């Protein structure tokens, strides 16, 4: 097992979890054994992901903004870069919502299985429905009011207030740029180090991912033993891949018609970085390759590539944004929750802002998804539905992330030349 890549271990854990769940669901008293002795490990794994969510966003976002170093960069090249990244992220989330509302993968679950699923997580689902109802009854500007915390420690104590943490992190990062570098340097060094520590914690958590997947799948099968859950999960995977493919097509259209670049040249130039991204599931690990290909093979100036790409590895997560939209609506469909247009617009804004702080490491998207689910009033227990296939799909999401970074660097380069 030590020689296997992590994603293969997770896939093995997934199949073993399904197999053990099916076996124990057919044994008298088997569901009690799984619930008492296996499920807790899945719960611990989910809790560890939720545990790291706020520190991850805080450290990663402050580091990313403070790396801009001066406000002039933030207002010129930085402004163009961030605006373009945010625009592509909004487009990606919107594509994800369109695809998942078209395929409706969660609706393939039968009413019987949906009832079993809701009953299994009834407490969590009821709490989320109450939160969603409170949001619907609030005023039109309440989301704007909720964005600004009255107490940062209070906001940081609850994952559902993550947007307030994001707001504080952005404000903090901008303030660091505005003060003299001699004064901000100790604080920046702290957050740089904190970011490295958080990323290492994620590495440690992900070492337990195969066992967490095993426990989640085994308990899910036992608690709702129906084959249509697996069919729905397969359709969810196809839906997400379709959304990612459409985003890649949009990128290629921008390169061809807006940037007037040769598509074969672009694809050949970025392909090695895409392959590294696919194998590592990490934009950060792929960054050196991406910078080399964009500068030496796509002709982007060094001053542009060295500025745009590191920021992109921190804040541009289009693949993750598509995933958050598809996963959130899929889980809502699986639990029989109807999401209004306002709810889905909220997913667009939340996923866009949350993806800014997503770390460029494997499976960070599953952590950020906790934020989106909490803000939309969708049961977090639904993570059990999708985590089994998260790591393999993360490989495709990272390809989209890296491709988007390269495309945006071409846009900024074109602007700089003009």
Residue 277: give its domain's CATH number.
Answer: 1.10.3860
Q: What is the mean pLDDT of residues 117-142?
A: 54
* Two structure tokens written together for 54: 């706020």
Q: Which residue has the tokens 């296996």?
A: 38
- Give residues with Cβ within 8 angstroms of 216, minimum separation 6: 17, 42, 45, 46, 383, 384, 387, 388
Q: Tell me the CA distances in angstroms from 86 to 78, 93, 349, one per residue in order.
A: 12, 11, 10
Q: Domain for residue 403, yes or no? A: yes
Given pLDDT bands bounded at 50, 70 and 90, which one contains residue 161?
low
Give the whole-number percent of the chain exceeding pLDDT 90: 16
Give pLDDT, residue 250: 96
Q: Which phi-psi region, left, alpha or beta, contains residue 260 (left: φ > 0; alpha: ψ -120 to 50)?
A: left
**Rounded Cα–Cα distance for residues 335 and 344 (Å):** 16
- Calculate mean pLDDT across residues 97-123: 74
Q: Is residue 174 part of a domain?
A: yes
34: which 2 tokens? Answer: 């799984």
Token readout for 385 is: 């539905």
pLDDT at 146: 72
What is the predicted pLDDT for the residue at 418?
47
pLDDT of residue 355: 61
Tell me, what's the pLDDT at 403? 94
1 belongs to a structural domain: no
Does residue 175 belong to any structural domain of this protein? yes
Tokens 């964009």 locate to: 294
Cα torsion 127, 227, 46, 284: sign: negative
Q: Please tell me the total count of domains within the chain.
A: 1
Phi-psi region of 69 (alpha: psi -120 to 50; beta: other; left: phi over 0): left
Q: Is 120 within the bounds of a domain?
A: yes
Q: Please report the pLDDT score of residue 62 as a whole number.
A: 82
pLDDT value of position 361: 47
CB 169 within 8 A of CB 58: yes
Domain that holds residue 354: 6-417
pLDDT score for 254: 95
> Does the pLDDT of residue 66 top 90, yes or no?
no
Phi, psi of 90 (to 5 degrees): -60, -45
**Does the pLDDT at position 1 exceed 60?**
no
Residue bearing the bigger pLDDT, 14 or 268: 268
- pLDDT average, residue stretch 47-57: 76
pLDDT recorded at residue 187: 93
Tokens matching residue 299: 């002709």
With respect to residue 173, please indicate whether it lies within any of the assigned structural domains: yes
Asked if residue 115 has pLDDT above 70, the reply is no
- The 10s digit of each residue's pLDDT in 283-305 is 766 777 887 888 888 988 877 78
Average pLDDT over residues 180-205: 86
| 70 contacts 184 by C-beta, under 8 angstroms | no
Distance CA 198, CA 373 (A): 22
Total H helices, total E strands in the chain: 21, 0
Instruction: Give the residue among 189, 191, 207 at the shortest CA–CA distance from 357.
Output: 191
pLDDT of residue 358: 54
Q: Considering only CA atoms, which of 157, 156, 95 is closest in space to residue 318?
A: 95
Place 277 in a pLDDT band, splitting at 50, 70 and 90.
confident
By the 8 A CB rule, do 330 and 114 touch?
A: no
Establish if 240 belongs to a structural domain.
yes
Q: Is the model's pLDDT at 348 over the cut of 70?
A: yes
Q: How many residues does the chain have?
A: 418
224 inside domain: yes
φ, ψ for residue 158, nearest 5 deg = -140, 125
Global model pTM greater than 0.85: no
What integer pLDDT is reported at residue 373 of this predicted model? Answer: 77
CA dist., res. 417 & res. 404, Å (int): 20
- The rounded percent of the chain whose pLDDT value lies above 70 is 77
pLDDT in tens, 237-250: 999 999 999 999 99
Q: What is the mean pLDDT of residues 99-109?
A: 86
């Amino acid at each position: 097992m030590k020689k296997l890549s992590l994603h293969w271990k997770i896939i093995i854990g997934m199949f073993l979890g399904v197999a053990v769940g099916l076996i124990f669901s057919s044994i008298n008293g088997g569901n009690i054994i799984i619930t008492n002795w296996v499920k807790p490990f899945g719960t611990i794994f989910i809790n560890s992901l939720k545990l790291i969510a706020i520190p991850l966003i805080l450290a990663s976002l402050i580091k990313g903004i403070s790396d801009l170093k001066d406000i002039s960069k933030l207002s010129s090249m930085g402004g163009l870069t961030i605006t373009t990244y945010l625009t592509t992220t909004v487009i990606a989330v919107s594509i994800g919502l369109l695809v998942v509302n078209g395929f409706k993968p969660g609706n393939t679950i039968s009413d019987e299985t949906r009832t079993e699923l809701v009953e299994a997580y009834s407490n969590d689902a009821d709490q989320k429905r109450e939160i969603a109802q409170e949001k619907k009854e609030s005023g039109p500007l309440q989301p704007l009011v909720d964005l600004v915390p009255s107490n940062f420690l209070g906001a940081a104590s609850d994952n559902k207030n993550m947007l307030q943490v994001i707001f504080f992190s952005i404000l903090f990062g901008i303030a660091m740029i505005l003060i003299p570098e001699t004064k901000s340097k100790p604080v920046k060094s702290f957050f740089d180090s904190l970011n490295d520590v958080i990323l290492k914690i994620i590495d440690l958590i992900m070492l337990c991912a195969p066992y967490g997947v095993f426990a989640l799948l085994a308990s899910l099968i036992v608690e709702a033993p129906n084959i249509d859950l697996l069919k729905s999960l397969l359709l969810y995977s196809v839906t997400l891949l379709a959304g990612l493919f459409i985003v890649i097509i949009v990128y290629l259209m921008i390169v061809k018609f807006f940037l007037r670049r040769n598509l074969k040249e672009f694809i050949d130039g970025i392909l090695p970085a895409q392959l590294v991204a696919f194998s590592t599931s990490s934009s950060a690990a792929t960054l050196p390759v991406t910078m080399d290909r964009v500068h030496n093979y796509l002709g982007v100036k060094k001053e542009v590539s060295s500025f745009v790409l590191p920021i992109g590895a921190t804040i541009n997560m289009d693949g993750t944004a598509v995933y958050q939209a598809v996963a959130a609506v899929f889980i809502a469909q699986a639990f029989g929750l109807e999401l209004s247009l306002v709810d889905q617009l909220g997913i667009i804004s939340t996923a866009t802002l949350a993806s800014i702080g997503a770390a460029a490491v494997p499976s960070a998207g599953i952590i950020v998804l906790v934020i989106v689910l909490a803000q939309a009033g969708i049961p977090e227990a639904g993570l059990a539905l999708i985590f089994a296939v998260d790591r393999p799909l993360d490989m495709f999401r990272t390809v989209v992330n890296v491709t988007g970074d390269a495309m945006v660097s071409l846009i900024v380069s074109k602007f700089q030349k003009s």
